[in-house]
Amino acid sequence: MKRIYYLFAAAVFIAGCNTKLPKIAFSGNVTGAKDAVIIVTDADGNNIAGQNITNGSFKMDTVFENPGYGKVSIKQTGSDDYPMEVYLEAGQYTLEADAAHLDRYPKITSSSAIQNELTAYYTIQDELSLKAHHKVVGKLEPGETDIDRLKLKAFRQFINKHPNSTAATHIMLGLQYERDVQPYYEIYNKLSQAAKSSEEGKFVGKKLAGMMKLLPGAKAPDIAGTTPDGAKFDKTKLDKKVYVLEVWKAGNQISRMNHKDIIDGMLKNLDNKKAGFIGISLDSKRDWWTKAIADDKVTWPQYADLKGDESANAQQWAINKIPTYYVLNGKWEIIERDASFSRLEFIVRDYLAHH
């Protein structure tokens, strides 16, 4: 194991001899580190620097041509690996960590302004996570706290302290902003124009604006494409009080398994005069789509424009994963978006009980 690390460090040293390219240097201390190594990788997962940690300290440098987001890992024999996000560019990086808490973001100071923003955000997140754990110790495991809410709180605090953050939209991309659209949209609108004008900023802004149109109570979009026999979607012909809309693919195993559960469970348990199902496929091949419908014995209406992931349905329904489920009322208004499959029957029953 150690021989591999030494060879890796030697390769980095040789690369560092190329003085024509900008140099990135790392140094620091890992308290309590034993039989450990630090490895830095770029966005593509390529190792750009690495070294054994000797007596708790390390110092290494290498050339690095393309700045961007990457990962730093401190690996100890017998311990889990916790890759941490970093922003890599020419300059000096100083890292302080504790081998007993490698799941926490290390204290990284750098000549990189973006890296210092990452350190600030992840430090806030770790502090809130630690407080949350202390509140539930003896009752819940740390992973059972509401991590998405915690990250939202951390991000809000970070933006309040760093309103002109360059890294803000990149950080947001790593959060579950699709689950809490409104608060993230409010935060997004407070970001600097530079952050919103970046490629990541434009992507997040467009996505959030689209999802704001899909909040509960909003009019749902139409469905692009046709049924296998060529019929277009016509919401004027809806005759149920509530609908479950599924977005699926023939090649997606979970989608196909859920079809069986719908047929064996919900279709038998729900009043089919009041509750209905509608399917949207993101397939691109007609024969795959129609064969899956036949094989699964699907009886509810199915639509597709056969454009795959480029489907207008994927965009206007803000689909991030397959399968995705919506619950809508008979007026084609959204009751719940991105509903959990396990909760679908409850949501439908609850709506019918109150309407």
Residue 343, CB half-sphere, CA atoms under 13 Å: how many? Answer: 13
- Residues 185, 123: Cα–Cα separation, whole Å: 23
**Predicted pLDDT of residue 327:** 98
- Range with the poorest average pLDDT among 6-10, 159-163, 273-277, 332-336: 6-10
Q: Which one has a higher pLDDT value, 133 or 23?
A: 23
Q: What are phi and psi of 20, to 5 degrees?
A: -80, -20
- Cis before 323? omega within 30: yes
Structure letter (DSSP) for residue 220: P
* Whole-angstrom distance, CA of residue 75 vs CA of residue 72: 10
For the stretch 41-58, pLDDT in tens is: 999 999 999 999 999 999
pLDDT of 6 higher than 50: no
Residue type, 354: H
Contact 61, 96 (CB under 8 A): no
Give the three-state DSSP class for 230: coil
CATH 2.60.40.10 residue ranges for the chain:
2-111
Rounded to whole angstroms, the Cα distance separating 344 from 338 reads: 10
Residue 93 CA to residue 21 CA, distance in Å, equals 17
C-beta separation of 39 from 56 below 8 A: no
User: Is residue 133 very low, low, confident or very high in pLDDT (cuts 50, 70, 90)?
Assistant: low
Please state which CATH number belongs to domain 235-354: 3.40.30.10
Per-residue pLDDT tens over the stretch 246-261: 999 999 999 999 999 9
Q: Does 135 score more than 70 pLDDT? A: no
Q: Provide the residue type at 256 as one letter.
A: R
Question: So what's the pLDDT on residue 342?
Answer: 96
Q: pLDDT tens digits for 188-218? A: 999 999 999 999 999 999 999 999 999 999 9
pLDDT of residue 138: 43
pLDDT-derived band at 339, boundaries 50, 70, 90: very high
Q: Tell me if residue 224 falls in helix, strand or coil.
A: coil
d(CA 349, CA 335): 12
- The mean pLDDT value for 93-117 works out to 96
| 82, burial (CB in 10 Å: exposed 0-12, middle 13-18, buried 19+) | middle
Where along the chain do the CATH 3.40.30.10 domains lie? 235-354
CB 25 within 8 A of CB 51: no
Range ranked top by mean pLDDT from 50-64, 126-140, 288-302: 288-302
Question: What's the whole-number mean pLDDT along residues 329-353?
Answer: 97
Query: Residue 15: is its pLDDT beyond 50?
Result: no
Which pLDDT score is estimated for 14? 41
C-alpha–C-alpha distance, residues 117 and 33, integer Å? 26
For 311-333, how does the pLDDT look when each residue is reduced to its tens digit (9 = 90+)?
Answer: 999 999 999 899 999 999 999 99
Asked if pLDDT for residue 4 goes beyond 70, the answer is: no
Residue 19 in tokens: 């003085």
Q: What percent of the chain has pLDDT over 70?
A: 91
91 pLDDT tier (thresholds 50, 70, 90): very high
Q: With pLDDT > 90 as the criterion, what percentage of the chain qualifies? A: 83
How confident is the model at residue 130, as a pLDDT?
Answer: 86
User: Closest Cα to residue 30, out of 1, 53, 61?
Assistant: 53
2-111 sits in which CATH class? mainly beta
